[in-house]
Structure 1
Amino acid sequence: MSLLLATSLPVLPTTYSTSHHNYQILPRRNLQTSSSRPPYSITNHSSIFTSTTPRCSSSSMATVTEAPSSLQFQGSLMYSRAYWVTRSLIAWNIDIGDGSCYLYSSRDASLALSDVGIEGYDLEIKLEPNDSSLPVNVIEKFPHIQDCRGLKVPQSADVKDLLKCQLAVAFFTGEN
């Protein structure tokens, strides 16, 4: 079995600006947490104005050729990116082939990888591959993802609720 992951954390660059405010993501100083992932908070620097534009970046996806341990996936959670580009379409730079893709959500941000798979999710949604390339309007708006594959979100999914959760997209191959 092979597994590739994309997640919504962290979704913001470490520093970004709007027309009226600057924000910076800073680690919280609370050391009481038992979680292995670092907590983050957003600090408002509204007294500083700049003209920098927020930018998205993505990393190249590595292909997993053998069943890795859960520790090897920790980097995938932090650096892999899938993009929710329309109400019913997620773009991800992956060749699905005979595999299956799923969207996982967690209201309390407790998604974790283990040797048996993804744990801590409230909802698992099977995503279907889009038979064609990404729509022209999506490519015009997000040209840096033009080579990504589209994954269809079912119409029955409650998108408003999902966007309030921690999200991860997983790709499974093999028997499991």
Structure 2
Amino acid sequence: MSAVDPSTRVGVSPFHAAGSLQGFVISGRWPDSTKEWAQLLALAVRVGAMPGLLHTSTVFGVREELPDDPAPGTVGIVLAEGPVLGDEAVAPGAFADHQPPALFVLHPPAETTPTLPECAGAASGCVLLPGVPHLGLEHRAAWVEADLEGTVTSMVSRVGVDPISHPDTAVLAMLLTA
């Protein structure tokens, strides 16, 4: 068996501050397919299911800028931008001037209704990969649910998504448009 070149993998390291999930450092390379973005979302949701790390539904933006003093191989970060609701919520059109390659929303267990009744305490999330439909580049999205034990209980990905067809993609699309 041949060894996998570490530079071809997508590395993900979550980070937190004051006991709250603040984002993920991405190393190696960015995901390059809807499937890989869904896998990154699955990891993010599994982290978000950990008690106390994610206090409310939160928007995370993909940033290709490097964090301060990055480790070798770091390509960017997925950073918590703010809650979906409330006084500190991310404003509609917040990303209209600089559209990120992807936006996530993560929902903690307290704000997730699990698809399976035996999966109480599940977290969920969505990633929207905005396209440029008038150029033939379709919107893509994935949705994941995972329980406290880390078991992915639901994973769906789609190409050609109409953002208004699902509440999560509708919220994320609203943040992208002015």
TM-score by length of 2: 0.28
Larger Rg: 1
Higher relative contact order (CA 8 A, sep 6+): 1
TM-score by length of 1: 0.28
